[in-house]
Amino acid sequence: MRILIVEDERRLANIIKKGLTEEGFAVDMAYDGEEGQYLVESESYDLVILDVMLPKVDGITICKELRSKNIKIPVIMLTAKSTIEDKIAGLDSGADDYITKPFSFLELRSRIHALIRRSKQEPSPTLIIADLVLDPIKHKVTRSGRKIVLTPKEFSVLEILLHHKDEVVTRTMIIEHVWDYNFDSMSNVVDVFIASLRRKVDKGSKVKLIHTLHGIGYKINENGT
């Protein structure tokens, strides 16, 4: 999953980015409203964390602009303002959630997972194919009950494959949702991660789940077609 943080308080932005990166998210950052609005309108994100008080363009204006353009990406607003009127203004602008500073990172993480799950209309966060189970909340993967230990990036690659099970997932799709804005798209790192996942997920199992479609992309399914 790929997240954009629009926050002019750089220390806070870096703390949030560090926590989310450790959770396996790809994270981009903008430090003013103008840059943030440009990124969210030109790149593909699963969620935006948006400060209200920003240089150049404020968060309320950005959110209204996004909704007026029918951009439905989930938005969590951050602000030091905690009155009911402030919260109403934020939600009325089109934000999906509103968190006042200071806040717990664990609370922010929980709200992020809930919003992404809701936006993708998933009744359950658990992703399953055959005997492979991925739980994004507990950050846990098992196959036939055997625990599989993955790095955060491996987990994210497997997660996007499972979100599109039985469908072709291109390298571009994986790059956009797993790596940040500065990633070198000419690198073969995606292929390396797919190979590593295949060793960890399919090794020792009769049914191979992760398949490479040369020149097209990748697919996770039970029959290899």
Give the domain ranges of the chain. 2-119, 127-220
Is there a shared CATH topology between the 2-119 domain and the 127-220 domain?
no
Residues in CB range of 225: below 8 A, 6 or more apart: none
Q: What is the pLDDT along the chain (225 residues), one digit of tens a residue?
A: 789 999 999 999 999 999 998 888 889 999 999 999 999 999 889 999 999 999 999 999 999 999 999 888 999 999 887 777 777 888 888 999 989 888 888 889 888 988 887 776 655 578 899 999 999 878 899 999 999 999 888 998 999 899 889 999 998 888 877 876 666 666 788 889 999 999 999 988 889 999 998 888 999 998 766
Within a 10 A sphere around the Cβ of 221, how many other Cβ atoms?
A: 17
pLDDT of residue 88: 81
DSSP classification of residue 73: -
Residue type, 109: R
Note whether 163 and 178 are within 8 A (CB): no
CATH topology of domain 2-119: Rossmann fold (3.40.50)
**CATH among 3.90.1170.50, 2.160.10.10, 1.10.10.10, 3.30.1490.100 for 127-220:** 1.10.10.10
Place of tokens 């629009």: 6
Tokens of 225: 């077609």
- The answer to whether the pTM exceeds 0.75 is no
